[in-house]
Amino acid sequence: MHITDIFNKKKFVFSFEIFPPKATSSIETIYKTLESLSDLRPDYISVTYGAGGGNNQNKTREISSIIKNKYGIETMAHLTCIRSTGEEIIDTLRDLKKEGIENILALRGDIPLEEEVKGDFQHASDLAEFIMSRDNFDLGGTCYPEGHVDCKNLEEDVKNLKFKIEAGVTHLTTQLFFDNNDFYNFLNLAEKHNINVPIQAGIMPLTNKSQIERIVTLSGSKIPEKYIQIMNKFEYDKDAMADAGIAYASEQIIDLMANGVDGVHLYTMNNPYVARKTHNNIISLVHSLNREI
């Protein structure tokens, strides 16, 4: 099933993101994560392509196939293009098709800092256009409520989203954010520029101080003072900090739901405890919204 069809059928879409294990870790670790998450029955699970632009497409395809063909949950495979040739992308599309995977998150990928970029694509919109010229995948795209680091301002970034939509992207997922007002401001700008595809809010429960510091460094997302106070209070109590992060994320999601967001994509960090507790905090509200249709 195309994820676009899920958005058409439901008032609120709730999904998860997981990532392939590092090259030094056993693939068995992700099998255990999937087994722990499968009974929660999210609307779909996305599988990342590999941190830092790494070439993890084989694991991405394998994991996506298991999600769909073993557990019967729709999946979306991430696909980056900055280091890829057209022939490599065609091969990947063929392999995904063989596994029955119908949904792709079209991404540029991280630009390598210490080597020349060699490939046929410069932007996610280039990849989306290339895919749509060859097959009938449903394409998702990413967006940035606080603005992409490569753009001089948020308005310019939102204008650039039009290129993705025109290239064939049918729904968007935001980078993680921790202040809902940033998301609402982003939605207003998107509406101003006639971007009318579903926009799913990306939410990550932060559960320890080092994770928070790493996320800020990698994503550039700002941490609200309210979250800093939580971190300062509970950072030395592992369990308390985890539950505080889950509570903050749950509060974020409930506010988003009350304001009519199209859905939430939960960045699980392959942590079943975090995913399950967040799911349990909001699932009755999810069911309530979807009964309204």
What does the pLDDT read at residue 54? 45
pLDDT of residue 293: 60
Q: What's the pLDDT at 20?
A: 93
How far apart are the C-alpha atoms of 251 and 227, rounded to whole Å? 12
Q: Rounded to a whole number, what is the distance in angstroms from the first to the last CA of the chain?
A: 19
Q: What is the rounded CA–CA span in Å between residue 47 and residue 18?
A: 5
Determine the pLDDT at residue 213. Answer: 80
Which pLDDT score is estimated for 55?
47
Predicted structure pTM score: 0.94
Here the tokens at position 96 are 């995904």
Per-residue pLDDT of the chain (293 residues; tens, 9 = 90+): 999 999 999 999 999 999 998 876 778 889 999 999 999 999 999 999 864 444 445 699 999 999 999 999 999 999 999 989 999 999 999 999 999 999 999 999 887 766 666 778 989 999 999 999 999 999 999 999 998 877 778 888 898 899 999 999 999 999 999 999 999 999 999 999 999 999 999 999 998 888 878 877 777 788 899 988 998 999 899 999 999 999 999 999 999 999 999 999 999 999 999 999 999 999 999 999 999 76
pLDDT of residue 117: 66
Domains of the chain: 3-291 (3.20.20.220)
Is 28 noted as a catalytic residue in this protein? no
Q: At what angle do helices 180-192 and 154-167 cross, to 10 degrees?
A: 60
